[in-house]
């Protein structure tokens, strides 16, 4: 069992080892939906939510798999459970909160193949976190993801008005921005202890 | 387009350059950036992904008439996850060092959008042979792109390639290149190069399309 204090897990997951800028997880939505601040915030919210749910599920599966001694099923069951959880959550939200569903709507199915979610589940089992630690880790990762997404979306919105050379338009520019942000986030190194 | 006169060789060639998954389609970015800090890691990751891609393409295309449309994505993911588990154990058996260097990113091949994308867009609609060629081309294109990134990052960041020292001791390593930010910068650099090539080609085509208007300015 890992004895890492909760605050350190949170700071580590959200700032020091930011999922997007240090681990490169969830790059696809990061590049895909980061051109508008509004969508970026919603996407961040949806991902944080799914991360929380799937982190709890992954914790349960890990207990079960250890009990029946079948570690080779880890990957398959993780991805299957995450995919179906996302589907369930989607149906649940649609039924009980149509407003929230409209806000998150299109992003929910996309999140299934977001590597940040599966990555989170795998990392937390590798590190041997307890239940409470898992929840804090998922929260931290979600906050970090949202932060990175919102930062880059803000930058890209400003850049819409700027005159850049033709060759740098689109993904190349987003990647350079991400690189600069990643350098900036390196400044947080050592914070989490 | 199943009716177009494209040969199986075309399916193979297109993945290498014209529709290169990384440089042109910008798919499957996570492993591209994460494990390309040395050439050997990048190449291993590329080959592992290529293997999973080819196998899943074969299985998906041979099962394409049995898979119900409603659950197809879930089925594809399960097929992919099975092969990834195989690769995971094989790499662990071959080289423990490599396994440690790649870490969780081997498992994360499952959610590589490139593989699911090819299963959905190509293998579910084409014959086994064509899908195999498509997987082969895309896989090699992916591995090639990863190698390009890994080589640049290792040469600049550590002054070596495949662990062989290239420069004199006085060479100052560009530490930023092996850090996460270096991955973003290197990929941005390659994309710039590709954009520039594309633009130059488009300009040339424009010039040859209007040959009589004026003397092409050199």
Say if B214 falls within a structural domain.
no
List per-residue pLDDT tens for chain B, 218 residues long.
444 556 777 778 777 777 788 887 777 777 788 888 888 888 899 999 999 999 999 999 999 888 888 788 788 888 999 999 999 999 999 988 888 888 778 888 888 878 888 888 888 888 899 899 989 999 999 999 898 888 888 888 888 887 777 777 777 778 888 888 888 888 888 888 888 888 888 888 888 876 555 555 44
Total domains in the fold of chain B: 1
Label residue B181 exposed, middle or buried (CB < 10 Å: 0-12, 13-18, 19+). Answer: buried
**d(Cα B33, Cα B186) in Å, to the nearest integer?**
9
| Placement of tokens 């650099």 in the chain | B189
- Does the beta-carbon distance from A179 to B182 stay under 8 Å? yes
If you search the block for the tokens 């440690």, which residue do you land on? Answer: B100
Q: pLDDT tens digits, residue range A101-114? A: 776 666 666 676 67
Based on its alpha-carbon atoms, the radius of gyration of chain B, rounded to whole angstroms, reads: 20
SS3 (DSSP) at A91: helix
Residues of B in contact with A28 (CB under 8 A): 27, 29-30, 113
Between chain A and chain B, how many beta carbons pairs sit less than 8 Å apart?
114
Residue A27 contacts by C-beta under 8 Å, 6 or more apart in sequence? A20, A115, B29, B30, B33
Q: Is B139 exposed, middle or buried (0-12, 13-18, 19+ CB in 10 A)?
A: buried
* Residue at B122 is within a domain: yes
- The verdict on ipTM greater than 0.90 is no
- Asked whether residue A136 is domain-assigned, the answer is yes
At B161 the three-state DSSP class reads strand
Q: Within a domain: residue A123?
A: yes
B217 assigned to some structural domain: no
More confident residue, B13 or A10: A10
What are the backbone angles phi and psi of residue B161, rounded to the nearest 5°? -140, 130
Minimum Cα–Cα distance from B28: chain A residue: A28
Q: Bridge partners of B164?
A: B161
Which 3 state secondary structure label does DSSP give B22? coil
Residue B135 lies in a domain: yes
Contact present, A117 and A53 (Cβ < 8 Å): no
CA gap B120, B125 in Å, rounded: 8
In a domain, A192, yes or no: no
Per the structure, the complete domain to which residue A40 belongs is given by 6-186
Give the C-alpha separation, A44 to A47, whole Å.
Answer: 5
Q: Is residue A96 part of a domain?
A: yes
CA distance B75 to B80: 9
- B216 located within any domain: no
Please give the residue range of the domain that contains residue B176: 8-165+172-208
N-to-C CA span, chain B: 39
- How many independent structural domains does chain A possess? 1
DSSP A191: S
Examine residue A193 and state whether it is found in any structural domain, yes or no.
Answer: no
Q: Which residue of B has its CA nearest to A17?
A: B180
pTM of the model: 0.82
Which among A75, A112, A168 is the nearest to B81, CB-wise?
A: A75
Report the alpha-carbon distance of residue B108 to residue B103 in Å, rounded. Answer: 9
């Amino acid at each position: 069992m890992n004895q890492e204090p909760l605050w350190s897990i949170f700071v580590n997951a959200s700032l020091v080892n930011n999922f997007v800028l240090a681990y490169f997880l969830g790059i696809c939505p990061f590049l895909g939906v980061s051109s508008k601040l509004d969508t970026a915030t919603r996407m961040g919210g949806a991902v944080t939510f799914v991360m929380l749910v799937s982190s709890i599920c992954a914790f349960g599966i890990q207990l079960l798999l250890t009990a029946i001694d079948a570690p080779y099923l880890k990957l398959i069951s993780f991805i299957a459970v995450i995919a179906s959880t996302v589907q369930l959550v989607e149906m649940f939200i649609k039924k009980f909160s149509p407003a929230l569903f409209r806000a998150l709507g299109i992003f929910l199915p996309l999140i299934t193949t977001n590597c940040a979610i599966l990555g989170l589940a795998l990392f937390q089992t590798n590190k041997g976190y307890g239940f409470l630690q898992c929840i804090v880790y998922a929260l931290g990762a979600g906050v970090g993801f949202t932060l990175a997404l919102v930062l880059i979306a803000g930058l890209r919105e400003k850049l819409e008005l700027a005159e850049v050379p033709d060759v740098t338009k689109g993904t190349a520019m987003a990647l350079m921005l991400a690189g600069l942000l990643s350098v900036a986030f390196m400044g947080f190194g050592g914070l989490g202890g | 387009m199943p009716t177009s006169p494209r040969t199986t060789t075309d399916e193979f060639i297109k993945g290498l350059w014209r529709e290169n998954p990384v440089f042109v389609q910008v798919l499957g970015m996570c492993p591209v950036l994460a494990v390309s800090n040395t050439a050997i890691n990048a190449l291993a990751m590329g080959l592992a992904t290529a293997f999973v891609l080819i196998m899943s393409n074969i299985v998906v295309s041979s099962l394409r008439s049995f898979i119900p449309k409603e659950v197809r994505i879930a089925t594809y993911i399960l097929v992919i996850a099975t092969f990834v588990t195989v690769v995971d154990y094989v790499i662990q058996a071959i080289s423990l060092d490599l396994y440690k260097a790649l870490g969780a990113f081997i498992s994360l091949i499952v959610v590589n959008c490139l593989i699911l994308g090819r299963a959905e867009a190509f293998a579910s609609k084409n014959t086994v042979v064509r899908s195999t060629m498509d997987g082969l081309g895309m896989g090699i294109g992916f591995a090639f792109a990863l190698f390009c990134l890994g080589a640049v990052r290792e040469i600049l960041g550590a002054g070596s390639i495949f662990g062989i020292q290239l420069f004199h001791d006085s060479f100052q390593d560009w530490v930023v290149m092996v850090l996460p930010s270096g991955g973003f910068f290197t990929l941005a650099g390659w994309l710039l190069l590709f954009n520039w090539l594309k633009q130059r080609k488009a300009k040339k085509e424009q010039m040859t399309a209007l040959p009589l208007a004026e003397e092409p300015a050199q």
